[in-house]
Amino acid sequence: MERFFNTAGPNIAEDNYTLDPLSRFDLDEILTLIRQKRYFVLHAPRQTGKTSCLLALRDYLNERDDYIAVYANVEDGQAARNNVGAVVAGTVNVIATEMDDIVGEDIPRAAKAGVQDENESTMLSAFLTKLSKALPKPLVLFIDEIDSLVGDSLVSVLRQLRAGYADRPAHFPQSIVLCGVRDVRDYRIHTTSGEIITGGSAFNIKAKSLRLGDFSLDEIRALYGQHTAETGQRFDEGCFPFVWQATEGQPWLVNALGNEVTNEMRENRDRSVVITPEMMYRAQERIIYRRDTHIDQILEKMKEPAMQRVMNMAVSKDFDIALANDITSDDIIEANENGLITLQRGQRLRVANSIYNTLFKELASNHERITI
pLDDT tens digits for range 124-157: 999 999 999 999 999 999 999 999 998 899 999 9
Q: How far apart are CA 221 and CA 228, in angstroms?
A: 10
Contact between 87 and 157 under an 8 Å Cβ cutoff? The reply is yes
Whether the predicted model's global pTM rises above the 0.95 cut: no
Contact between 359 and 299 under an 8 Å Cβ cutoff? The reply is yes
- pLDDT value at 372 more than 60: no
Q: How far apart are CA 216 and CA 247, in angstroms?
A: 10
Average pLDDT, the chain: 91
Q: How far apart are CA 305 and CA 319, in angstroms?
A: 19
Q: How far apart are CA 372 and CA 369, in angstroms?
A: 9
Q: How far apart are CA 352 and CA 250, in angstroms?
A: 9
For the segment 46-95, what is each residue's pLDDT rounded down to a tens digit? 999 999 999 999 999 999 989 999 999 999 998 888 899 999 999 999 99
Q: How far apart are CA 15 and CA 248, in angstroms?
A: 25
pLDDT at position 325: 57
Q: How far apart are CA 42 and CA 178, in angstroms?
A: 6
Which stretch of 217-226, 235-244, 256-265, 315-324 has the lowest confidence by average pLDDT?
315-324
